[in-house]
Every structure is written in C-alpha cells, then in structure tokens.
C-alpha cells in the first residue's frame, strides 16, 4: 500500500517546478511564466476534479458516470475542434465521433465482463480512451490541413484528369491515418520495457498484485489503441470531403488555429 503523501511533502513539489523555470531563465527560453502558470493551473484542476469525482462516486452509477462522461467528451470535442478551424460542423462531428467510440469501448468492457459499471472504474478508464481519441483526431486534422496544402498541385492535377475527390485523396488519407496511429503502435512495442504505464503503476502503488494490475493495463492499452485507430480513421474519412466543394474542386480552407 502506498504511503500517504503529507502536505509538507506536497509543498516540496515546488522544486520540481523550479528546475524547468531555472533552465528557461538560464537559456532565455521565455517560458518561465508559462511553466509557473501551467503548473499552478494543473494542480488546481486536479484538486478540483478530485472533489468532483468524490461527489460523483457517491451518486448512483448511471447518473455519476453519465455526468462525467458528458463533460469529458464536451471538453475533448471543444479542444480537438480547434485544429479544424474552417471545416463546417467540425465540433458537432467530433463530438459524435468521440461519443460513438466511447460507447463502443464501454460496451465491449461491460459485455466481456472486463470491468463493473461503477464510477471508480468506468470514469478513469473512459477518460483515457476519450483523451487519446481527442489527441488522435487533433493530429489527423492538423496533418490533413498540412497534407492538402502541400499536395494541392497534385490533387488539382488528378481532378483535372477526371479523378474523383476520393481517388485524388487516397494516398493522403493513408498517410494521415498512419501518422496518427504510429505513436500508439510504437508505444505498444515498448510498453512495460521502457516504462511502466500509468494505470499499472497506480494500481501497484494502491496495493493491487502486479499480475492483476497488468491485466487492467493490457485492457486499457488495447482499448486506447483501438480508440485511436478508429478516431483517426473515421475523422479522416469524414473530414477530407470538406476540402472539396460541390463542383468537386479543391476548396480554400482556413489555416489559422484558435
């Protein structure tokens, strides 16, 4: 069982912040303010979510789980949509994609009796799935804008020769999906060798036997891999169409981000 971290020990975490702040000051990186603010904001957010989760865990599972999942999906959709400025209905579509993936993964967990329908199990594990799906969609949108901008001439040439938008975009779609999936593929190759994953470490610190902790880590690792693959693929297949107008010509898209 992990020892309780005292308030005094928590205070000494300031030294973990002072190290990058000092490096930023020494090398004139101009990040000192951002580091301090980000650290403070992160600490406050974590404490707040701790109190929120304590309250949600006291509610009946359907209510507590539904509230937290709705909040997580809404925030994830809002954040990921910033990468897709200029694409019509981007926020609504991303919300739908993440909802679908989260429900699919949750149904598989419950259907295969991997976890119980309890807030302390569903919320943390779903949060990891939703968060990684958000990142995958954001990467896909960012890469999509870049690829369409850099390959504009090739796409226009293909359209001029009679190719349909899908045919002209096939190679780009493959590159975009592959780029979004590669980090997780590489992560699976070294999981448990280069680092002990967060969920496994947390369970071991909580007193769970290592073998049991590994079982949960395998479940969440493969669930995240599936969700990332689906998120990148579905988002790319849906959003590439918005790069073409009704006349099947390459449309102008905004490149700026919020």
Which tokens is 37 given? 């603010």
Distance of CA 102 to the CA centre of its chain: 12
Judge contact between 156 and 243, C-beta under 8 A: no
Mean of pLDDT values over 74-80: 96
pLDDT in tens, 183-196: 888 888 877 776 67
Judge contact between 74 and 65, C-beta under 8 A: no
Residue 44 has pLDDT above 80, yes or no: yes
Closest C-alpha among 65, 91, 87 to residue 78: 91
Residue 3 pLDDT class (50, 70, 90 cuts): low
State the pLDDT at residue 256.
45
Which tokens is 137 given? 């969609």
The model's pTM is 0.85
Judge contact between 62 and 228, C-beta under 8 A: no
Residue 245 has pLDDT above 80, yes or no: yes
Judge contact between 102 and 109, C-beta under 8 A: no
Judge contact between 53 and 69, C-beta under 8 A: no
Residue 1 has pLDDT above 60, yes or no: no
State the pLDDT at residue 91.
96
Q: How far apart are CA 24 and CA 130, in angstroms?
A: 32
Judge contact between 68 and 59, C-beta under 8 A: no
Mean of pLDDT values over 60-76: 96
């Amino acid at each position: 069982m992990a020892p309780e971290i005292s308030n005094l020990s928590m205070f000494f975490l300031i030294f973990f912040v002072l190290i990058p702040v000092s490096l930023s000051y020494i090398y004139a990186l101009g990040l000192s303010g951002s580091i301090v603010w980000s650290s403070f904001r992160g600490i406050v957010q974590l404490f707040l979510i701790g109190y929120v989760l304590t309250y949600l865990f006291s509610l009946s599972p359907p209510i507590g789980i539904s509230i937290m999942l709705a909040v997580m999906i809404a925030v994830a959709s809002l954040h990921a949509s910033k990468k897709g400025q200029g694409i019509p209905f981007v926020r609504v579509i991303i919300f739908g994609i993440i909802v679908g993936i989260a429900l699919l993964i949750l149904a598989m967990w419950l259907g295969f009796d991997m976890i119980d329908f309890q807030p302390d199990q569903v919320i943390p594990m779903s949060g990891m799935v939703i968060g990684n799906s958000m990142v995958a969609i954001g990467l896909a949108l960012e890469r999509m804008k870049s690829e369409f901008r850099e390959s504009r001439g090739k796409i226009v040439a293909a359209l001029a020769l009679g190719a349909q938008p899908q045919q002209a975009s096939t190679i780009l779609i493959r590159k975009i999906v592959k780029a979004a999936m590669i980090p997780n593929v590489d992560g699976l190759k070294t999981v448990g060798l280069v680092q002990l994953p967060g969920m496994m470490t947390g369970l071991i610190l909580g007193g769970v036997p290592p073998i049991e902790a590994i079982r949960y880590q395998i479940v969440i690792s493969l669930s995240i891999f599936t969700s990332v693959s689906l998120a990148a693929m579905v988002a790319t297949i849906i959003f590439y169409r918005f790069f073409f107008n009704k006349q099947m010509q390459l449309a102008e898209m905004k490149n700026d981000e919020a």
